C-alpha cells in the first residue's frame, strides 16, 4: 500500500490529507474543518474533543492507508490525570493567562539564561510559561503536547515528539534532551512529559494501522517539505503565523541572536530551524472576521491596485489576542504618524506591505546572525496562494520567491511516515527533489 494519511491541525483549520507515492506524490484532501477556539469563563480554549471527532471523521474518509502521522501547531498541551483522563480543555496560546507569571519565571531564570539553555525566542505563550501558570499541574500525571494527545487517544500509547518538544522552552537543542537546569530552577518536573520520540519512530496502532511520529510540530513538517533545489534558501512557512528563517546544522545561541528574537527549533533529520515567529496572516484573518467577509480574492485584487502607504510592526504585542483587528491597526498607524487605512482594501494592503517588510528584516537578520548566504526565498503554506504577498516579498527581499506547496506541512508529514514505513528512501534532499519535481510551484522575480 502506498497511501499515507496526514492529520494536520493548523490554528485556523484542520485537514486530513492522503498522500499517494505510487507515481510521484499525489496529495488529496479527504476532510477539512474549521478550528474554532472557544472563549468560556474568561479563558480561551481549543475545542479539543471537536477536533478529535473531526480527525476520526477524516481518518474514516481516508479509507485504508499504510500509516498515519499527526502534526499540529506548537506549544499547547493537554494535562492528563493518573487515570489518563484529560483535565479540562487545552488552553489556547492566545489566552492571556501567562501574563501574571512572566516576571516570576524570569526572576528564577533570566531571559539570557533561558535562551542560552533552550534557544527559544521569548514569546509569552511558550509552554514553559504556560506550565508555570497552570493550576491543573497539581493533579497531573502526564502533560501531552497537542499532536501527542491525539496520538495517545488513537493508539493508547503516550510519547513526546522531539520537534514539538523543542518549542516548549524546556529542551536543550544541543542535546535533544530536557534542560535539567531550567526545569530545576523553575521547579517543573519534565518527567510529566512521556518519553521523547523522534520523527519516524513508531507511535502505536490505530484500528490495525500503524501511527508514526512525524515532525509533529507543523512548522517542522512544513520546513522538511520546502522544495529547495539548492542549499542557500530561506523559507517562510506562511499561515496563521509566518515562520521565517533558515535550516542549520547547529543552533545559534548567542546573545545577539536572542536580542534579535531568533528561535532554534529542532527539525526533521537533526536539523535546526533557525527562525523568527512573525505574526502572519492572523492579522488579515482577524480583519476578515471583524468585517464578516469570507472571500479574500476581491480584497486582494483591490489591494493590488493601491500604493504602499502605511507599514506597522506586525509583531506588536497588541495584535496577539483575538478581537477587533482593524481598530488596533488604525491606532498603531495613527500613533506612528502614518495615514490611517479606511477601507478593507487599504487595511489589506497595509497588512501585506507590513508582512513583506517583516519578512525582509527576518531574512536579513538570519543571514547576519548565521553567517549564511541566501539566494532564494521559498514560501509554503496557505500564504503561497496570495500572489500579492509573494510579489511584495520578492520586491522587499530583492530575491526570487518560489511559492508552494500550499500543503507543505501535510506533504512533510506524509514523506516522513512513508520513509519510516519503507515506502520512500532518502534524506531531506531526496524529499525536496521529489517535491520540486511533482508539486505545482510559482516563481516571482523581484521587479
Ligand atoms: P494554518 O495552518 O496556520 O491554519 P494555512 O497554511 O492553512 O494556515 O493558511 C491559511 C491562510 O492562507 C489564510 O489565513 C489565508 O490568508 C491564506 N489563503 C488561503 N487560501 C487563499 C487564497 N485562495 N488566496 C490567498 N490566500 C489564501
Ligand atoms: C504555526 C505554529 C508556530 C508556533 C505557533 C504557536 O502553526 O506551530 O510554529 O510558534 O504555531
Ligand 1 atom at minimum distance from 387 CA:
25
* Residue 218 bears catalytic tag: yes
Distance 382 CA to ligand 1 centre (A): 3
* Ligand 1 site residues, Cβ closer than 6 angstroms: 10-13, 239-240, 281, 284-285, 296, 381-383, 385-386
Domains and CATH numbers, the chain: 3-218 (3.30.420.40), 228-404 (3.30.420.40)
Identify the DSSP state of 325. H
Nearest CA to ligand 1 atom 21: 385
Per residue of the chain (447 residues), give pLDDT as tens: 899 999 999 999 999 999 999 999 999 999 999 999 999 999 999 999 999 999 999 999 999 999 999 999 999 999 999 999 999 999 999 999 999 999 999 999 999 999 999 999 999 999 999 999 999 999 999 999 999 999 999 999 999 999 999 999 999 999 999 999 999 999 999 999 999 999 999 999 999 999 999 999 999 999 999 999 999 999 999 999 999 999 999 999 999 999 999 999 999 999 999 999 999 999 999 999 999 999 999 999 999 999 999 999 999 999 999 999 999 999 999 999 999 999 999 999 999 999 999 999 999 999 999 999 999 999 999 999 999 999 999 999 999 999 999 999 999 999 999 999 999 999 999 999 999 999 999 999 998
Distance CA 171, CA 180 (A): 9
Pull the grid cell for residue 339: 495615514
Q: ∠ CA(17), CA(20), CA(22), 5° rounding?
A: 175
Tell me what pLDDT residue 213 has: 98
In the block, residue with C-alpha cell 502521522: 69
Interstrand relation of 38-40 and 43-45 (parallel, antiparallel or unpaired): antiparallel
Largest CA distance in the chain: 62
Tell me, what's the pLDDT at 348? 98
% pLDDT > 70, the chain: 100
> What pLDDT digit, counting tens, does each position of 42-71 carry?
999 999 999 999 999 999 999 999 999 999
What are the cell numbers at 20? 499517494
Supply the ipTM of this predicted assembly.
0.99
Which of 8, 134, 218, 353 is catalytic? The answer is 218
CA of 240, closest atom in ligand 1: 3
Q: Where does residue 436 fall: left (phi above 0), alpha (psi -120 to 50 degrees), or beta otherwise?
A: alpha
pLDDT at residue 443, as a whole number = 98
Query: If you take atom 9 of ligand 2, which residue's CA is the nearest one?
Result: 219
Q: Ligand 2 atom closest to Cα of 75?
A: 6
Cα 64 to ligand 1 centroid, rounded to whole Å = 29
pTM over the 0.95 mark: yes
Which residue is associated with the grid cell 476532510? 31
Q: How far is ligand 1, taken at its centre, from the CA of residue 319, in Å? A: 18
Q: Give residue 321 CA to ligand 2 midpoint distance, Å.
A: 15
Please tell me the residue having the least CA distance from ligand 2 atom 1.
73
What CA–CA distance (Å, rounded) separates 71 from 203? 13
Measure 173 CA to ligand 1 centroid, in angstroms: 30
Q: How far apart are the first and last CA of the chain?
A: 46
Q: Which residues line ligand 2 (CB under 6 A)?
A: 10-11, 73-75, 93, 217-219, 239-241, 243, 277
Amino acid at each position: 500500500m502506498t497511501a499515507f494519511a496526514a492529520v494536520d491541525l493548523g490554528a485556523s483549520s484542520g485537514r486530513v490529507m492522503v498522500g499517494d507515492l505510487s507515481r510521484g506524490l499525489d496529495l488529496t484532501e479527504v476532510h477539512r474543518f474549521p478550528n474554532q477556539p472557544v472563549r468560556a469563563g474568561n479563558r480561551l480554549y481549543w475545542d479539543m474533543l471537536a477536533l478529535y471527532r473531526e480527525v476520526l471523521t477524516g481518518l474514516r474518509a481516508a479509507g485504508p492507508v499504510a500509516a498515519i502521522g499527526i502534526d499540529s501547531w506548537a506549544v499547547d498541551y493537554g494535562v492528563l490525570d493518573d487515570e489518563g483522563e484529560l483535565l479540562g480543555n487545552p488552553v489556547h496560546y492566545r489566552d492571556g493567562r501567562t501574563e501574571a507569571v512572566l516576571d516570576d519565571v524570569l526572576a528564577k531564570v533570566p531571559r539570557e539564561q533561558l535562551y542560552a539553555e533552550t534557544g527559544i525566542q521569548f514569546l509569552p505563550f511558550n509552554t514553559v510559561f504556560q506550565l508555570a501558570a497552570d493550576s491543573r499541574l497539581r493533579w497531573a500525571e502526564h502533560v501531552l503536547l497537542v499532536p501527542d494527545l491525539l496520538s495517545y487517544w488513537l493508539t493508547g500509547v503516550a510519547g513526546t515528539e522531539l520537534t514539538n518538544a523543542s518549542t516548549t522552552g524546556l529542551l536543550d537543542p544541543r542535546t535533544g534532551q530536557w534542560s535539567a537546569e531550567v526545569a530545576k530552577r523553575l521547579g517543573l518536573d519534565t518527567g510529566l512529559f512521556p518519553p521523547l520520540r523522534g520523527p519516524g519512530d513508531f507511535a502505536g496502532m490505530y484500528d490495525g494501522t500503524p501511527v508514526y511520529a512525524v515532525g509533529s510540530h507543523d512548522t517542522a513538517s512544513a520546513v522538511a517539505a520546502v522544495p529547495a533545489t539548492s542549499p542557500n534558501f530561506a523559507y517562510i512557512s506562511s499561515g496563521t503565523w509566518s515562520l521565517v528563517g533558515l535550516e542549520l546544522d547547529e543552533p545559534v545561541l548567542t546573545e545577539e541572536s536572542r536580542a534579535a528574537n531568533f528561535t532554534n527549533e529542532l527539525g526533521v533529520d537533526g536539523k535546526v530551524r533557525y527562525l523568527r515567529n512573525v505574526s502572519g496572516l492572523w492579522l488579515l484573518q482577524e480583519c476578515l472576521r471583524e468585517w464578516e467577509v469570507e472571500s479574500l480574492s476581491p480584497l486582494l485584487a483591490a489591494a493590488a491596485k493601491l500604493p504602499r502607504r502605511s507599514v506597522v510592526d506586525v509583531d506588536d504585542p497588541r495584535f496577539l489576542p483575538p478581537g477587533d483587528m482593524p481598530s488596533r491597526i488604525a491606532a498603531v498607524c495613527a500613533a506612528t504618524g502614518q495615514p490611517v487605512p479606511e477601507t478593507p482594501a487599504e487595511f489589506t494592503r497595509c497588512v501585506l506591505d507590513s508582512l513583506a517588510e517583516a519578512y525582509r528584516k527576518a531574512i536579513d537578520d538570519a543571514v547576519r546572525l548565521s553567517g549564511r548566504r541566501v539566494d532564494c526565498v521559498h514560501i509554503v503554506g496557505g500564504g503561497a496562494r496570495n500572489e500579492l504577498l509573494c510579489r511584495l516579498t520578492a520586491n522587499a527581499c530583492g530575491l526570487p520567491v518560489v511559492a508552494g506547496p500550499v500543503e507543505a506541512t501535510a506533504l512533510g508529514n506524509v514523506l516522513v511516515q512513508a520513509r519510516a514505513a519503507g515506502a520512500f528512501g532518502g534524506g531531506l534532499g531526496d524529499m525536496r527533489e521529489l517535491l520540486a519535481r511533482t508539486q505545482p510551484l510559482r516563481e516571482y522575480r523581484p521587479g
